[in-house]
Chains A and B, each alone.
Chain A
Amino acid sequence: SQTIHQWPATLVQPVGSPLSLECTVEGTSNPNLYWYRQAAGRGLQLLFYSVGIGQISSEVPQNLSASRPQDRQFILSSKKLLLSDSGFYLCAWSRPKSSGNTIYFGEGSWLTVV
């Protein structure tokens, strides 16, 4: 069976510090990978998605970046965090393009920028 894991689960970072959130998927190959952000009490905002190694599509221009160094690894980074970066970050995966392919989420990472 497939599993998705992301870490760290929670972190408190000062403004201007770097960020690295990691996500790995097991039990499948060539998945589509996604990073979403959810502000408190709000819906999901798609930040990045990737259909393959080194292929990153950015949905929202900002100070965040994503990388996919391996097939089942997806990393969300920032060189300098802003207060507005606080939120709940969700990594997700789905099988390649086709309707009916469910998207599955990791446990989420709570980021507080202080």
Chain B
Amino acid sequence: AQKITQTQPGMFVQEKEAVTLDCTYDTSDPSYGLFWYKQPSSGEMIFLIYQGSYDQQNATEGRYSLNFQKARKSANLVISASQLGDSAMYFCAMNVNTGNQFYFGTGTSLTVIP
């Protein structure tokens, strides 16, 4: 069975600082994808970044980077130079090559402090 775990219900970060949001996953499928989404208070789910299980390098998208540690089964999101607009819920997700479903963590609420 597939599982995604986010152990940080809430995080605070000072504006302009970097923050790491934790995500661990569990799957026996060797081919899988890992995703991060941002959900502001408006409710929309915004895709941020993707990492494939066979990717050799960590994914980066602007201020977002994914710290992928395959042996530890972790896929932490790093946000550099935090901005007030980064305040939102963040969800980690996974899908596997053998299935159609996406599995989501319970989310981390990030608050950026001016």
Contact = CB atoms under 8 A, between A and B. Distances in A.
Real binding pair: yes
Contacts, number: 62
Contacts of B29: 99
B101 A44 contact: no
Interface string B20-50: 0000000001011101010000011101001
B43 A108 contact: yes
Interface in B63-114: 91, 93, 95-102, 104-107
Interface of A: 32, 34, 42-44, 46, 49, 51, 88, 90, 92, 94, 96-105, 107-108, 110
B53 interface: yes
Contact of B35 (A42, A90, A102): A102
Contacts of B99: 97
Q: Across the A-B interface, give the 6 residue pairs with the lowest CB-CB distance, nearest first.
A: A105-B45, A43-B106, A99-B97, A99-B33, A108-B43, A44-B104
Contact of B43 (A42, A88, A97): A88
A66 to B, nearest CB: 14
B31 A94 contact: no
Contact of B91 (A43, A96, A97): A43
